[in-house]
Amino acid sequence: MSGYRLQAHPGAWIDRQRPLSFTFNGERVDGFAGDTVASALLGQGIVHVGRSYKLHRPRGIFTCGIEEPTGLLDVGSGATLTPNTRATDVAASEGLVARTGNAWPSLKFDIAALNNKFASLLPAGFYYKTFMWPHWHLFEPTIRRMAGLGSAASVPDPERYDEVSRRVEVLVIGGGAAGMQAAAAAARSGRQVLLLEGAARPGGWLATQTLPGGHGAALLASLQASLAETGVEVQVCCTGLGLYDHGFATAVQTVGHGGLRERLWKIRAQQIIVATGAFERPMLFPDNDRPGVMLANAVERYASLYGVACGQCVVIAAACDSAYGVAHSLVAAGVNVAAIVDHRLDAKASEPNGVLVHRGCSIVAVEGSSAVKRVTIAANGGGQTKGIDADCIASAGGWTPAVNLYSMAGGKLRWVDESSMFVPDRILPGLAMVGACAGVFDLDKALSHAESVGRGEALAAPVGGVGFVPAKNLPSDAALAALGKKPGKVFVDLQNDVAASDVALAARENYRSVEHLKRYTTMGMATDQGKTSNINALVLMGAHTQRRPAEVGTTKFRPPFKPVTLNALAAGRSGPRYKPMKHMPGEAWHAERGGAFEEFGGWWRPAAYPRPGEDILAAAQREALHTRTHVGIFEGSPLGKLEVSGPDAAAFLDLMYVGTMSSLAIGQARYGLLIHETGVIHDDGIVARLSENHFWVNTTSGGVDRVALAFEEWLQCEFIQHRVLVTPITSAWGNVTVGGPEAWALLQAAGFDDSLSPVNMKHMTMREIQYGGVGLRVMRASFSGELGYEINVPALHTQALLERLSEAGKAFDAQPYGIEALMVMRTEKGFIHVGGDTDGTTLPSDVGLDRAVAKKVANFVGRRSLQQPAAKDADRMQLIGVLPLDRRTLPPAGAHVAPHAPPAPIDGFITSSCHSPALGHPVALAMLKRGTQRIGERITVYHMGKPIEAEVVKPFFFDPQGERLHGKA
């Protein structure tokens, strides 16, 4: 052995011919290809790697897998920084940068470690009691700055992520001995099998039994050969995250090559076999959190898989027979095992030659602060103590089957006293558990059962625990009275500094529910989600409340099974891929004219066309006034468009809309309101009849998808006898709107036929025409209140139409206008904007559209809800207009109407407001209690504590008679 690296042996996962180096806290660390960051650190003798969350006590590497609670590092730098990452789950690579995230200014000198000096004042729940007086907000900024275990990157992540969707007959999660056996058996039965293994290679516990003298090498090679021979697809570095209904599973895979970092797997399987093994349970003794205290199985894995001795002198703390197997492995690897301290008096396992065993004893003290230096032991019954020099304590307190995925799928657990563990209690359809996660720890029995499950002959798993029978694993009386003085803390949750005394305090304060215990103490809320702490905490809770662990119960297991990056879940759908922006076909035309683009309902649209020295608001005012006095050009291509056709199209639309659409003549159009079953408005738009069984349906720009889905849902689930086809066509058709007093003059100059003149074409009608060899659908409609033509043109011809209208419009000083100007004009007219002037409670009568309900005799979706008492409540909020008394102060959208200065119950709120360039003063729309009955009343609008005196008016400010719609200025 050289330093902390052991001599090379067959079966190790590292390649000593490929050395590498990385930095930890600025210092060089040497390792080999195949190392994890944790194994490389331990191989260089670095045991102190971090600080705990609350008390900032020194912490080291504790495990060798995804359950790691303390070896948490910030990995990467700049844009590639990933905070709070398990060193045990990150492959070492050349040039990697790692540092401690929860220490300042440095790991060795952490100012926040002062918390440990006041630990007695910081028990469980101290924040609930301490920071309430005199006011929580006095403490909040400091507490928020201290929260968290690292800092996220401040710039976008440049690395790539993707996802893959698969359908297989058999999915096996876990590549240990039982998982490989079940996968090979399933493949031999002629089924397609996918095996997922979270580690870099399959093998699980069996891979650690390949040291000289070990019995696992031949079996491991045989199982791996079976996988290859039977054609099982094996994906390594791929951890199952969650199980859901109908055989659906998710997993995350670390790729790390080809420019791809992680891949999200979404898998549908006819049968799922879970073989996720078990988590070792730590022993409880004073100062069991010191760097150098590790799980025994982890010490064994580092020795066998990475050629690393976790200490020069190891003491094994045992409450379980598996500790003796670890001792045999370590001795075979050349690691010095100073002693086994067995909590029990009778162990069935054989002792390694030359290793001293202390039976019926416990560790009662650990010397050393940032590393273990010496341990003190005593008999459980008390008596003389004994010191043992050691720099590593391998803790073997029993095993906890990894039942997380089983529980996520709806499985129930039961407690087995003889093996002190929760195991699966019943069979779930399409799901089987094999190996240690099913409670089967005897290798021969596990392989036999896995073979049967793989062949489809058995689903239930026998309860095991053979060979691994732990003691009660409570801190002994000797440990708690160590050396006749106050002992060190006995920690249960190492990351969150939850001590055994915190569990006792929770019990004294009558927190009997395990979920309350979790939240009061934060036990099990660390990044390992209780994998190393839950069972000990439950046993302690049971002891303090005179209940068995089965009566205490377990907390709820939820996905993901291990911490996962947000980008992995997004699977590369970040930035534009997360929410792809829709672009208008005439975008280039708008850009040439200085359009200031913003997102509106998922579309990239010009808010306005500001000139030099103008902001968006000023540009919108100018554009609105110009459109009212001359003519404006607007691209409305994002306007939702559906074609509804079929023999029953008219009857179907009557059911969908508050108004009646079947009475439309061909070529006519009508405004329509859509409501949910609850009677709440969810969209509106214009419906035009193109032929007897063919309708053109406009929706709001942001509402077309939900309207199309609603139509399809009703057709497929309720009105299944209706012969109707709903076709979304928004992207197929562009829309160019020409509005203003000179709108027709511009179209006439551009060569449009006189059949479209205001004299020949009435408002709310649609014509299909040919223009320049292209078929157009022209509707006379207006959201601005001006004479308007909505010209629907095949999308590819939108740019050409805009250019032609722009050229012809030079004689009329035609100018483009954007969304903001349109919002100004529709507010002046009192036209509602669904989603702006309405919310999830707004009914048709609230916005003055109850006449359509009263006129319609036939049934429609939501009608029954409009007859309920709540819909007829006289105190409902109703849409009204608001004018400031001084005609100068703008009541901002969101401002509240209240009877007196806040705090006060509100009477209403402003939904839309703007300065009206046509009227020369501010106007606003609002929802107000009994609004229609309060016309002429004076009210006070409060914004940011400032009152604005206003009066209630009808919500029609400009051209209330609607004469301008017909071209009358």
Q: For residue 492, what are its two tokens?
A: 């249960």
Q: What is the CA radius of gyration of the chain?
A: 36
Least confident stretch, 277-286, 402-411, 453-462, 953-962: 453-462
Question: Looking at the DSSP assignment, which residues form a beta bridge with residue 15?
Answer: 33
Asked if residue 591 has pLDDT above 60, the reply is yes
Longest Cα separation, the chain: 112
How many CA atoms lie less than 13 Å away from 943 in the CB half-sphere? 13
Least confident stretch, 12-21, 335-344, 483-492, 798-807: 483-492
Q: Does domain 282-397+471-488 bear CATH number 3.40.50.300?
A: no
Q: What is the total residue count of the chain?
A: 969
Q: For residue 789, what are its two tokens?
A: 């033509």
- In percent, the amount of the chain with pLDDT more than 70 equals 96
Q: For residue 866, what are its two tokens?
A: 């409009």
Q: What is the homologous superfamily of the domain 640-729 according to CATH?
A: Aminomethyltransferase beta-barrel domains (3.30.70.1400)
Q: For residue 456, what are its two tokens?
A: 């489809």
d(CA 794, CA 797): 6
Beta-carbon contacts of 348 under 8 Å, excluding residues fewer than 6 positions away, are 321, 467, 469
Task: Please give the average per-residue pLDDT across 873-881, as a whole number.
Answer: 96
Asked if residue 955 has pLDDT above 90, the reply is yes
Q: Give the closest residue to 506 by CA, choosing from 123, 54, 52.
A: 123
Q: What is the pLDDT of residue 485?
A: 46
Task: Please give the average per-residue pLDDT across 79-93, as a whole number.
Answer: 92
d(CA 766, CA 775): 13
d(CA 651, CA 441): 67
- In percent, the amount of the chain with pLDDT more than 90 equals 72
Task: Please give the average per-residue pLDDT across 675-685, as a whole number.
Answer: 96
Determine contact, residues 243/408, Cβ cutoff 8 Å.
Answer: yes
Higher model confidence: residue 758 or residue 156? 758
Q: What is the pLDDT of residue 355?
A: 94
User: What are the pLDDT digits (tens) for 182-240?
Assistant: 999 999 999 999 999 999 999 999 999 877 666 788 899 999 999 999 999 999 999 99
Asked if residue 135 has pLDDT above 90, the reply is no
Least confident stretch, 297-306, 496-505, 668-677: 496-505
Q: For residue 27, what are its two tokens?
A: 């210092």
Fold of 490-550: Arc Repressor Mutant, subunit A (1.10.10)
Q: What is the pLDDT of residue 213?
A: 63
- In the numeric block, the tokens 């199952």 are attached to 240
Q: What is the pLDDT of residue 950?
A: 98
Least confident stretch, 520-524, 811-815, 923-927, 953-957: 520-524
CATH architecture of 582-638+732-825: 2-Layer Sandwich (3.30)
How far, CA to CA in Å, does 318 sit from each of 65, 315, 325, 478?
20, 10, 11, 16
Confidence of residue 462 (pLDDT cuts 50, 70, 90): low
Among left, alpha and beta (phi > 0; psi -120 to 50; other), residue 685 is left
Provide the 8-state DSSP code for 668: B
Q: What is the DSSP string of 219-277?
A: HHHHHHHHHHHHT-EEESSEEEEEE-GGGEEEEEEEEEETTEEEEEEEEEEEEEEE---
Q: For residue 366, what are its two tokens?
A: 């650990």
For 283-313, the three-class secondary structure string (H helix, E strand, C coil) is: CCCCCCCCCCEEEHHHHHHHHHHHCECCCCC
User: Phi first, then psi: what are they for 286, rounded to 5°?
Assistant: -60, 140
Q: What kind and span of H or E run contains 878? A: strand 877-884
Asked if residue 481 has pLDDT above 50, the reply is no
Q: Give the closest residue to 491 by CA, choosing from 84, 47, 69, 100.
A: 69
Higher model confidence: residue 362 or residue 469? 362
Q: Give the closest residue to 927 by CA, choosing from 914, 908, 942.
A: 908
Higher model confidence: residue 213 or residue 416? 416
Least confident stretch, 112-121, 385-394, 468-477, 514-523: 468-477
How do strand 908-916 and strand 896-897 relate by DSSP bridges? Answer: antiparallel
User: What are the pLDDT digits (tens) for 326-361?
Assistant: 999 999 999 999 999 998 888 778 889 889 999 999
Task: Please give the average per-residue pLDDT across 274-278, as a whole number.
Answer: 95
d(CA 306, CA 227): 24
Q: Give the closest residue to 39 by CA, choosing from 4, 2, 69, 74.
A: 4
Domain segments of the chain as ranges: 282-397+471-488, 490-550, 582-638+732-825, 640-729, 869-969
Q: What is the pLDDT of residue 467?
A: 46
User: What are the pLDDT digits (tens) for 928-941?
Assistant: 999 999 999 999 99
Higher model confidence: residue 444 or residue 821? 821
Task: Please give the average per-residue pLDDT across 364-376, as a whole number.
Answer: 92
Please state whether the predicted TM-score (pTM) of the whole model is above 0.85: no
d(CA 834, CA 103): 51
Asked if residue 471 has pLDDT above 80, the reply is no
> In CATH, which of 2.40.30.110, 1.25.40.320, 2.120.10.30, 1.10.3720.10 is domain 869-969?
2.40.30.110
Asked if residue 781 has pLDDT above 60, the reply is yes
